[in-house]
A and B are shown apart, each in its own frame.
Chain A
Amino acid sequence: MSGHRIAAITRRLLQGFRRDRRTLALLFVAPLVILGLLGYMLRNSATPAVGVVNEDSGPLGAVVASALDGSTKITTTNIAASDGDAKLKDGSIVAYIVFPSDFTQGAQGGVIAPQVHLEGSQPNAAAQALQALQSALATSASNRPGAVRVQPEVTYLYGGPNLDTLDYFGAAAIGLIVFFLVFVVTIVSFLNERSQGTLERLMASPLRRGEIVIGYMIGFTVLALVQSVEVLLFALYVLNVHNAGNVFLIFGIEALMAITAVNLGIFLSMFARTEFQAVQFIPLVIVPQFLLSGILFPVSSEPTWLQYLSNVLPLTYAVNALRDVMVKGADLTWSSLQLDVGVVAAFVLLFIVAGTATLRRRVG
């Protein structure tokens, strides 16, 4: 191993990127666009519109309707019963709730029976409307004089009442974006090295295979670290993603993910001949990892046999580590975090060895 030769490879790589504005934009602008969109959508999503029809001859309908008005989950408008179906059809509301004329009377008889008409094609919006109705009913019922009050006392081990979807996804997303973009850029640049004939030249030089892989790894890691800092600062200070842990620990995990992506990219580039074939690895390698990593659906909620698969993918451990640190405030004294970080580091070593071993084979 020669430090000079490794440094030459790294320097060459970075010199090339200096003039490659498109790739620089992919590395440094794309993450902000993706994270920004994600943040804006999750934080500022509009509440579903729900119509309310109060035909109740007694007082209860109005009480529940005003409780619905106060809900943060939905936006209510008073409508006429005859307009309800037309409004569902034209999409201006996702549901309408009717308090029939005998609503109060029924309640006195022990049956509270509002009628709910759902548009039905948007499960999330429908669930939100139903939740809002249920809590409105509960509030109204417990506000009645002499009623039994339901008042659970809630305490949080991690997070808190203000932890939202962006806090949950954001923690994993910052790692995932770095992983994905670094992977794409690595696999394509290493493939170029092969297709433009320079790899053949390098193999005919005194360079050792390991020097090529390490030189590449350092070059891309430098880029990936800059990207990680950018993504992290954006997530923490622009999007205000919840963070209970040490910023440097998050950065360390991100860096480890970037190094995994670099080496996975080098390794997989051996199995592609053209850039198009390299892009075909994205649905094959990246998307399943993304689905199985637990970023969308917790691994523990997967069917058992899928859990086995999730548990042999590096991304699963990385996503878990980032969430543990950012949401739960984990530090390196936690054995779960030690395991996650250890497994990701082991994958890095595995990919370095695999990448180096396959290098000679595809040149000769």
Chain B
Amino acid sequence: MSEQVAVEVDSVTKEFGVIKALNGVTLRVRRGEIYGLLGPNGAGKTTLIRSIVGLIAPNSGTVTVLGRKLPNLDVLREVGYMTQQAALYPGLSVEENVSFFAAIYGVEGGVKDALEFVDLYTRRGSVVATLSGGMRQRCSLACALVHRPRLLLLDEPTVGVDPQLRVELWEQFRRMAADGTTIIVSSHVMDEAERCQRLGLIQYGRLLAEGSPSEVRSQAGTQNLEEAFLKLAGEKKES
């Protein structure tokens, strides 16, 4: 495996009872790139992300993260994971939440930087239960990146975040990627997809298409990603 590859997913299949949440997915994410997982609800995006953080053992296929084959507890030290719902302790303050995750990952310091990164430093004393949805989402993001992971997995990170902050967060993601952090982000918002360097279109647990936003558009022969996605998904269904 080349040093340039951060995540390699090789023909991964995961079944939950009769449902095939992932059906032979193969993809590679390069170091320092922002890779977007695009697809409707229930397509398998979250299952794919969970298998990359080792929460799910695939029925078949392998996942290799930062050069180490899963399951591997050590590699998780270098991975940050932000879940779909803002998974936080509601009874703790913003700072206590972030400090807790810093301690779990064995890093000291960095809490202030993480809080400033998500623009919550002035609200660090607020108890999470009293925060708005967008602030919780930002706090959750701070918890995911406080240990400066080399790979950051974001499961629909901007749900409930206002447009202005969304633009700011994407600006930050781009800066992190430029510093060498690999980011995998799932979304079903098409204008976010445009900001990714490469996209993977997922439906029914399969990878329908992959490439840069312009490659995906030209592959489908459409003007925008939304149409491209609908067209590619439609073709697959018929075949």
**Binding partners A and B:** yes
With a cutoff of 8 Å between Cβ atoms, the chain A residues found around residue B42 in the complex are none
Q: A5-B106, A201-B143 are in contact. Are A12 and B76 (CB under 8 A)?
A: no
The contact of A15 among B96, B104, B105, by CB within 8 Å, is B96
The contact of A364 among B56, B86, B103, B105, by CB within 8 Å, is B56
The contact of B127 among A2, A11, A19, by CB within 8 Å, is A19
Q: A204-B81, A206-B105 are in contact. Are A16 and B92 (CB under 8 A)?
A: yes
Q: A204-B55, A206-B73, A206-B74 are in contact. Are A8 and B100 (CB under 8 A)?
A: yes
CB distance from B237 to the nearest CB of A (A): 30
Are B103 and A20 interface neighbours, CB within 8 A?
no
Are A4 and B89 interface neighbours, CB within 8 A?
no
Cα distance, A200 to B91, chains bound together (Å): 18
Are B143 and A5 interface neighbours, CB within 8 A?
no
Dominant secondary structure at the A interface? helix
With a cutoff of 8 Å between Cβ atoms, the chain B residues found around residue A11 in the complex are 100, 103
B87 close to chain A: CB less than 8 A: yes
Q: A196-B89, A201-B143 are in contact. Are A12 and B77 (CB under 8 A)?
A: no
Are B106 and A12 interface neighbours, CB within 8 A?
no
A1-48 contacts to B, CB under 8 A, are 2, 4-5, 7-9, 11-12, 15-17, 19-20
B80-122 contacts to A, CB under 8 A, are 81, 83, 85-92, 96, 100-101, 103-106
Q: A8-B100, A206-B74, A206-B76 are in contact. Are A200 and B87 (CB under 8 A)?
A: yes
* Interface residues contributed by chain A, number (CB under 8 Å): 27
Are B76 and A204 interface neighbours, CB within 8 A?
yes
When C-beta atoms are compared, the residue in chain B nearest to A19 turns out to be B91
A112 close to chain B: CB less than 8 A: no
With a cutoff of 8 Å between Cβ atoms, the chain B residues found around residue A15 in the complex are 91-92, 96
B53 close to chain A: CB less than 8 A: yes
Are A16 and B89 interface neighbours, CB within 8 A?
yes
Are B87 and A197 interface neighbours, CB within 8 A?
yes
12 pairs from A and B in contact (CB 8 Å cutoff): A4-B106, A5-B103, A7-B103, A12-B89, A15-B91, A16-B92, A196-B87, A204-B53, A205-B76, A205-B81, A206-B74, A206-B104
Q: Which residues of B contact A (CB under 8 A)?
A: 50, 53-57, 73-74, 76-77, 79, 81, 83, 85-92, 96, 100-101, 103-106, 127, 143
